[in-house]
Amino acid sequence: MGHAAVLSWEGGVGLDSDVARLRRGDPQALEALLSRYQHRLYRYLLRLVREPALAEDLFQQTWLRVAERIQRFDPSRNFDAWLFSVARNLAIDHLRRYRPESLDEPAAGDPSGEPRQARLAADGPSALDRLLDQERAGLVAGALADLPVIYREILSLRFEEEMKLEEIAGVLELPLSTVKTRLRRGLDGMKRKIETRSPGQWGLA
């Protein structure tokens, strides 16, 4: 049964049935959902809090809360957005309690929030290209990690999770106009940071 989600070629169908089964308390549905979301959810939490140990803790808390609250989840809503907003609320609560300053100020310079086994883009045709890709990815990841949390999260949701603006507004519980403003400021911030570190590089794909 746990394989149902993996075998179904159309993601949404398997997802709906997994969510429905989890609402009935089926532990195998939990297994399927965990496998489906493990890396994405972990990545999002890591972008938010930047410390792997804390991200791991919040990852576990998120799933516990999902188990607790799945009864209250409205199946006509988007599960992705619900899951990410559960994770976000836990992360923001934590930051508010232990590091309130991080919620409104840019944090100082340690961009190394990422575990080493980060996957390499496998499509670089030559070794040199791969090296350049890696360098650029490092530059971009560093700039992202240096932004204040409100911009990190919005950039991660838009570009990594590829959520629509309306979905992001749902996760962050913000009006669409604020989402757009933050998105623009976040990108501006990225540009400035990359330019300071490596002039002329900001727009190179």
Partner 1 sequence: MSPRDEDKREESRGKLRDAKMNEHESMRELLALAAAGALDEDEQRKLGRHLAECSACSAELDAWRGLAASLKRLPTPQAPSMLVERTRSRVALELAAIAERRKSYWVMAFLVLFSWTVTLVTWPVVRLLSGGVLSWLDLGFNQTWFGLAGYTALGWVTAGVAGAVLSLKRRREGRFA
Helix, strand, coil percentages, rounded to 5, for the chain: 70, 0, 30
Cα distances from 26 to residues 104, 123, 162, in angstroms, run 41, 39, 29
Q: Is 184 in the site for partner 1 (CB under 8 A)?
A: yes
Among 92, 95, 107, 140, binds partner 1 (CB under 8 A): 140
Of 26-34, 78-86, 92-100, 103-111, which part binds partner 1 (CB under 8 A)?
A: 26-34
Tokens of 112: 């190394």
Q: Is 68 in the site for partner 1 (CB under 8 A)?
A: yes
Distance in angstroms (rounded) separating the CA atoms of residues 141 and 159? 12
Q: Which helix (H) or strand (E) holds 54?
A: helix 52-69
Find the shortest distance in angstroms from Cβ 4 to partner 1: 17
Q: Which is nearer to partner 1, 92 or 195 (CB)?
A: 195
Of 3-11, 89-97, 101-109, 152-160, which part binds partner 1 (CB under 8 A)?
A: 152-160
Q: Is 150 in the site for partner 1 (CB under 8 A)?
A: no
Q: Is 180 in the site for partner 1 (CB under 8 A)?
A: yes
Q: For the segment 69-128, give every residue that binds partner 1 (CB under 8 A).
A: 114-115, 117-121
Find the shortest distance in angstroms from Cβ 43 to partner 1: 5
Q: Is 2 helix (H, G, I), strand (E, B) or coil?
A: coil
Distance in angstroms (rounded) separating the CA atoms of residues 18 and 4? 9
Q: Which is nearer to partner 1, 12 or 200 (CB)?
A: 200
Q: Is 1 in the site for partner 1 (CB under 8 A)?
A: no
- Going 92 to 94 to 100 to 101, the CA torsion angle's sign is negative
Among 1, 13, 20, 27, binds partner 1 (CB under 8 A): 27
Contacts of 192 (CB under 8 A, 6+ apart): none
Burial of 62 (0-12, 13-18, 19+ CB in 10 A): buried
**What residues line the site for partner 1 (CB under 8 A)?**
25, 27, 30-31, 34-35, 38-43, 46, 56, 59-60, 63-64, 66-68, 114-115, 117-121, 133, 136-137, 140-141, 144, 155, 158-160, 162, 165, 180, 183-184, 187-188, 190-191, 194, 202-205
